[in-house]
Amino acid sequence: MVVGLVILAVVAFGGTTGFFLYKDAKSLQAQAGTLMSEVSFMKDHLKNGEGEQLNATAGTVAEQIASMRDTVDGPAWTIASFIPVYGDDIKLVRGMMEQADILAQDAMLPACAQLEDFKLGNLLTDGAVNIEMLKGLITTIQDMEPVVISSIDAIDALPEPHIGKIKALMDKVAGPMNTAKGALKQVNGVLPLLPQMLGADGPRNYLITAENNSEIRACGGFVGSLGVMNVDNGEISLQDFEGTLHSSNGPKPQIPITDEEMTLFQPYEPTMNFTSGDAYFTPDFPKGASNVSTLWSLEHGGQHIDGVVALDPVLLQYLLQLCGGVTAADGTVVDGSNAANELLSGSYWKYPEGGEAQDAVFASVASGAFNQLLGGLGEVGFTNLFKVIKRGGDEGRLLMWMANEAEENAVVQMGFGGTLNADPTKPQAGVFVNNYSYSKLDWYLNLDAVKGEGVKNADGTVSYPMTVTLTNEMSAADAAALPAYIAAHNGTADAPTQQMLRALLYAPAGGTITDVVTSSGSMKEATHNGLQVFYQDVRLMPGESFQVTYTVTVSAEAAEELDVRVTPTAQHARKGEIGDVLADAE
């Protein structure tokens, strides 16, 4: 279509030239259709880890592109490129094909050749990562960067098109090209660190913390179980998980609680310095992770921790959809359809007093899921795994902290850092909630945060209306039969079924929160790490809701639309709305 439009503009230039251009256009149109089909096949091969087919199809694609470039390099196209005005459109098409050919020959083909023997089953075998294969993949991606960036810069320098549909096409591809350019630079800032993070330079100890969204914390949930994953030159092993970790001799002076943290997160007594369960009261994940790492080391003979990973049962359910389920100690099958339900609700109803039987279920699921993931991921397509992990990061269900500064920066770049964003050019507001009823009632919690359309102000700032709603969705039937283990254990609760929550609203760096209106009570104002915060204690009986509306105004320095980070809940799992993650990853 695009080539045809160019031809129509130059037919008047000469009958013979126009005739050959027309013939070329018909040929190019047919080749373009074949090319798009082959590219679609390549995407499927990459997603399914079919390296040999990927490499073969890449060869076909490269041949098609080379043929199309030869066509537009022909004499008729050369002559047409000199006509006034519309000759620029001819030059643009020729330049695009030249760069497509360079990308195919110098980036796509070498990368696909490297990937021919690459699939997760080869990279991850018998609980170990093949470090040498990983290094080869990293080198390939690093080699691609200068080729891709050079071609994108060359395309940016091509003449401006005059034909409307060609201009629309260029506008359409400009965004993805710039995104790819930035993403490649970002990826190459992270990938070289992966071998050392996987123990290539010496053993690593990573503390895995399992969050319980039924007892909500700002970062996700109460840390009810945790254990160390050892990685040594790619060899991965998992130590036994333990229950909630408490200090053996009272609060730890090595874990200081600031005045800001006392105001915002400790309304009754300081707990963040002696129990792992409350480490994630703060939405500043690096601080919470560092605290739980310190507590673990103090309680385990000084064992060094290189990093902390937090994940929740909803993410586990996503992953088990990829690689199959496990059987818990009591015979319950936990898989990609029910993991969140079983771990956040079902087990509490089966074992209403808690105790060893319940602990055995959690421990067996943790170890079984770990082994299943290591054993099953080898058969999972790389694209599906990547998209599921990315979804976990986007939803705040997978968070990481590294003791090494460079590795921590890499984790933040990847979107797993859980930091309080201090960059006013990339504004991020926060909506967080903590449970103070000492219960597992938050399986029934709905937390809905809705951002409205931004309005540009005269001073260059942008204001966004926000509406946040908290709802206790417990049914009357569940309320009547509620096991004691799930119920509120805070002595000030008005009833066993009452959720006692604290809602926290964070302004973005350089921005403000104004016009705060609540459905009941009133909010207080504070600061945390230089950010404006509004907070309020909220009590909800079954069926009750609390709502707050307010305005978030971002700095005039903001270069992006406001992002809103929200505490991840289990509400979609409770409602059966998780669906097929593999289908969602298409």
Please report, for the chain, the start and end positions of each structural domain, with discontinuous segments joined by +. 2-197, 204-391, 421-584
Write the CA distances from 462 to 450, 548, 549, 551, 559, integer angstroms: 16, 20, 17, 10, 11
Q: pLDDT band for position 11 (50/70/90)?
A: very low
pLDDT of residue 243: 86
Q: What is the pLDDT of residues 106-131, one digit of tens each?
A: 888 888 887 766 666 677 777 788 89
pLDDT of residue 386: 83
Whether the Cβ atoms of residue 262 and residue 270 lie closer than 8 Å to each other: yes
pLDDT of residue 12: 46
Single out the residue of 52, 65, 58, 59 nearest to residue 40, CA to CA: 58
Edge-to-edge strands, sheet with 499-506 = 524-528, 531-540, 499-506, 428-435, 563-566
The pair of three-digit structure tokens given for residue 77, joined into one six-digit string: 């196209």
Single out the residue of 364, 305, 306 nearest to residue 339, CA to CA: 364
Cα-Cα-Cα-Cα dihedral sign, residues 316, 321, 324, 326: positive
Q: pLDDT band for position 586 (50/70/90)?
A: low
Alpha-carbon distance 261 to 265, whole Å? 5
Region 193-219 average pLDDT: 96
CATH architecture assigned to 421-584: Sandwich (2.60)
pLDDT of residue 284: 98
Single out the residue of 189, 5, 12 nearest to residue 84, CA to CA: 12
What value does the CA radius of gyration of the chain take, rounded to a whole number of Å?
28
Residue type, 369: A
User: Which CATH number is associated with domain 204-391?
Assistant: 3.40.630
Alpha-carbon distance 93 to 2, whole Å? 9
Q: pLDDT band for position 14 (50/70/90)?
A: very low
pLDDT of residue 29: 67
Alpha-carbon distance 473 to 468, whole Å? 16
State the chain's maximal CA–CA distance in angstroms.
94
Least confident of 66-75, 83-92, 94-103, 317-326: 83-92
Q: Is residue 94 predicted with pLDDT exceeding 50?
A: yes
Q: Is residue 571 predicted with pLDDT exceeding 90?
A: yes
User: pLDDT above 90 covers what percent of the chain?
Assistant: 55
Q: Is residue 174 predicted with pLDDT exceeding 80?
A: no
